[in-house]
A and B are shown apart, each in its own frame.
Chain A
Amino acid sequence: MIGQELSSVDILRMVVMLATLVILFVGVIYVVLGFTLKYHWQKYGLGEDNVRKLKRRYFWVGGSLLLLMLFSYVVILFI
């Protein structure tokens, strides 16, 4: 690469590599923390209704963002 100019293909390849790492990192954090938080809410007695409400919000908002991430990732992959 030294002495050569970066082409748009090279940049896109680097972006794809970075995006793959990001998706793995954020996805794992989201899933693992989701289960950990659920365990905490249930263990320390937040009440069945509260746990259900919190769980629903966490997974709906987080899931939508994760889907958006996956969709844009696929778009980047196929460009």
Chain B
Amino acid sequence: MIDLQIGETLLMLQRKHWFAIFLEGMVLLLIALLPLVIIIAVHFLLPLIYQIMGIPATVSIYVFFSSAWMLLMWVVFYVAFTNYYLDVLIITNKRIVDIEQIGLFSRDVASIPPENIQDVKIETTGMLATFMDYGDIHIQTAGSNKELLVRGIAEPSKVKAQILAVHQDAKNKALHHPTQQHPDTPTTTPDATTNQTPPTHVA
């Protein structure tokens, strides 16, 4: 999902809690089964429809529109699943990357250097969120993008601990090597650009 830089290691890749897609799937399943509910509801009208159209035509029309409806719901579920799967928070030793897939043709990727983090706050509201262990995570930064909000992430306290550990590590490194440049900062020396190895791709 991202290309790792030289010397960068992946520490954590966290998605939204599975309950989010489960809930969405259940709602879509109920909507997909709506034709069954309708057929039961109009049960008393059926003799009249049979009289007008005939039994084979009525059944075929019903099967046609029901399967069209279910196919549409199936496609919608796949779009929802893709949105869920491509929304990730990636923590490496050099940056925190939040990837947000919005619909099918919009993608928001925010990258924060760990030394820019000022505060990490987690918010778990409600009984379900408490028992299932998911919540929102707010990452306050010193840059122009003041706050990063990741909603419904699984195991938020574990994520917070990892972010703080990376932040602490970056601070320690800055204290011991104050002249070292951040990897995000572009280098202009010819040696730095020619001796680069190809970046690693993280799935």
**A residues bordering B, Cβ < 8 Å?**
8, 11-12, 15, 19, 22-23, 26, 29-30, 33-34, 36-37, 40-41, 44-47, 54, 58, 61-62, 65-66, 68-69, 72-73, 75-76, 79
B63 contacts A11, CB within 8 Å? Answer: no
Select A76's contact among B1, B64, B68, B70, beta carbons within 8 Å.
Answer: B64
The reply on B22 being an interface residue by CB < 8 A is no
Q: Which residues of A contact B52 (CB under 8 A)?
A: 8, 11
The reply on B18 being an interface residue by CB < 8 A is no
Closest residue of A by beta carbon distance from B64: A72
Given A30-B75, A37-B82, A58-B78, A79 contacting B67 (CB threshold 8 A) = no
A22 contacts B65, CB within 8 Å? Answer: yes
Q: Which residues of B contact A29 (CB under 8 A)?
A: 72, 75
18 residue pairs A–B, Cβ–Cβ below 8 Å: A8-B54, A11-B53, A15-B57, A22-B65, A22-B68, A23-B68, A26-B72, A33-B104, A37-B79, A44-B1, A45-B202, A45-B203, A47-B203, A62-B75, A65-B68, A65-B71, A69-B64, A72-B61
A72 contacts B67, CB within 8 Å? Answer: yes
B86 contacts A44, CB within 8 Å? Answer: yes
CA distance A54 to B77 in the complex (A): 12
Main secondary structure of the interface of B (DSSP, over half): helix
CA distance A32 to B141 in the complex (A): 40
The reply on B84 being an interface residue by CB < 8 A is no
The reply on B176 being an interface residue by CB < 8 A is no
**B residues bordering A, Cβ < 8 Å?**
1, 52-54, 56-57, 60-61, 63-65, 67-68, 70-72, 74-75, 78-79, 82, 85-86, 104, 201-203
Q: Which residues of B contact A69 (CB under 8 A)?
A: 64, 67-68, 71
Q: Which residues of B contact A61 (CB under 8 A)?
A: 74
B64 contacts A73, CB within 8 Å? Answer: yes
Select B85's contact among A46, A62, A75, beta carbons within 8 Å.
Answer: A46
Select A65's contact among B70, B86, B203, beta carbons within 8 Å.
Answer: B70
Q: Which residues of B contact A33 (CB under 8 A)?
A: 75, 78-79, 104
| 6 nearest CB pairs, A to B | A72-B64, A45-B203, A75-B60, A65-B71, A72-B63, A68-B67
Q: Which residues of A contact B85 (CB under 8 A)?
A: 46
A8 contacts B1, CB within 8 Å? Answer: no
Q: How far is the CB of B15 from chain A (nearest CB, A)?
A: 12
Closest residue of B by beta carbon distance from A75: B60
CA distance A73 to B54 in the complex (A): 16
Q: Which residues of B contact A44 (CB under 8 A)?
A: 1, 86
Closest residue of B by beta carbon distance from A45: B203
B61 contacts A15, CB within 8 Å? Answer: yes
